[in-house]
Amino acid sequence: MGSIRQSEDYHIVIPKFYTDQECNSICELISEHSDDLIREHSPDSSVWADSNGYTGLTALHSTFNWIPLIEDNLGINLVQRIMEQIDTRDVNDVFIKSWCNLWDKGEGIKPHRHAAMDMEQTGQYEWVTIQEHKHAEDDCRQHMISGNVFLSDNDHREYGTYYQGKGWVENIRGDLHLFSPLIVHSVDSNTRQEPRMSQAFDIHLDGHFTNTSLESKEVYNHVEGLRNFLHIEVSRD
């Protein structure tokens, strides 16, 4: 079992979180559903950008959760696998969301950090002072973890992910990377004809969505941008 309460530079790798066959199946699922999902969330355009400038599937990070689709279609108990990797001692509620990325030739993802994504999407983070900003970052460090899994075949593995403070890290198919949401990271543009695919995660403990003044269920039920999170009540059996 891993630990979620880590330092700002926390970054671990869980080898073979997915098998090669599971990666193949998820890639097929992405290819099958990507166009319909983009149309569903943007009926006027097949390519659109959210407030962060992301396009395509990545832009659905705040509106669609891939976990039920993967579990229902592929029989992968994804929630259980994720829960096995985090420390839920003294935790009552866990909130998880996942989105998938598909980059065609020439596409990549700019430097970003997942804590900032949640700050922007909820509209709850108009800090007045530096102290308030620091308090929210401290809360992210203690109560949130981010992750990603490289799904494409290993012919694409030369496209590593850049993590601030660590440099370029090789992407190995099926490995799960868990890291602090405060780490800035990026992916270079795809230079191949074949799409490059990955899956990303955000995990929050006890509903701490970078703002400790909001209780977990209050946030989940009333903040529009967070309703796509799966809510798991931690069992004490």
Mean pLDDT confidence for 79-108 = 88
Provide the 3-class DSSP secondary structure of residue 24: helix
> Which backbone phi and psi does 101 adopt, to 5 degrees?
-120, 135
The domain locations on the chain are 11-233
Number of neighbouring beta carbons within 10 Å of residue 73: 14
Please report the pLDDT score of residue 44 as a whole number. 45
178's tokens: 């868990």
Average pLDDT score, the chain? 76
Return the pLDDT at 38. 87
d(CA 225, CA 132): 21
Query: Which residues are within 8 A (CB) of 25 and not within 5 positions of it... i.e. 6 or more apart?
Result: 74
Task: Beginning with the edge strand found earlier in the chain, give each strand of the sheet holding 167-169 in spatial order.
Answer: 109-112, 185-187, 161-163, 167-169
Architecture of domain 11-233: Sandwich (2.60)
pLDDT at 75: 95
pLDDT tens track for 98-147? 999 999 999 888 888 887 544 444 444 343 343 444 555 666 656 788 99
Count Cβ atoms below 10 Å from residue 91 Cβ, excluding itself.
16
pLDDT bucket at 226, cuts 50 / 70 / 90? low
Q: What is the pLDDT of residues 184-221, one digit of tens each?
A: 899 988 888 889 999 999 988 775 554 433 444 444 44
Distance CA 145, CA 179 (A): 6
49-58, 78-87, 119-128, 216-225, range with greatest mean pLDDT: 78-87
Instruction: State residue 220's pLDDT score.
Output: 45
Q: Which range, of 7-21, 167-181, 219-233, averages the lowest pLDDT?
A: 219-233
The phi, psi pair for 169, rounded to 5°, reads: -120, 130
**Contact between 82 and 203 (Cβ < 8 Å):** yes
C-alpha radius of gyration, the chain, whole number? 17
